[in-house]
Amino acid sequence: MANGGLWVGVLTALTALVTGHITARATSRAALVQTRTTATTEALREQPNRRRSTYGYREMTSCAHACPEVT
């Protein structure tokens, strides 16, 4: 009987280890997906700001190039 209890204990321990490993991998993947989603969202949110900055820069350089013609 003690031998059967030992096997049950070993199987329980192995099951716990495997389950813990699977849970850790799933948690890691979920965190990676969340990080990528957040980074993509931030990049899309900043895209119009970059476009506005580029437009402002182009406007400023065109004014700077027009200044010598006026003077």
Q: Over the chain, what HEC string results? A: CHHHHHHHHHHHHHHHHHHHHHHHHHHHHHHHHHHHHHHHHHHHHHHHHHHHHHHHHHHHHHHHHHHHHHC
Quick one: pLDDT at residue 27? 97
Looking at residue 71, the DSSP 8-state letter turns out to be -
Quick one: pLDDT at residue 71? 66
Quick one: pLDDT at residue 52? 66
For the stretch 22-69, pLDDT in tens is 999 999 999 999 999 999 999 888 877 776 667 677 777 777 777 777
Quick one: pLDDT at residue 12? 94
Tokens of 64: 């700077």
For the stretch 6-23, pLDDT in tens is 899 999 999 999 999 999
H and E: helices and strands count for the chain: 1, 0
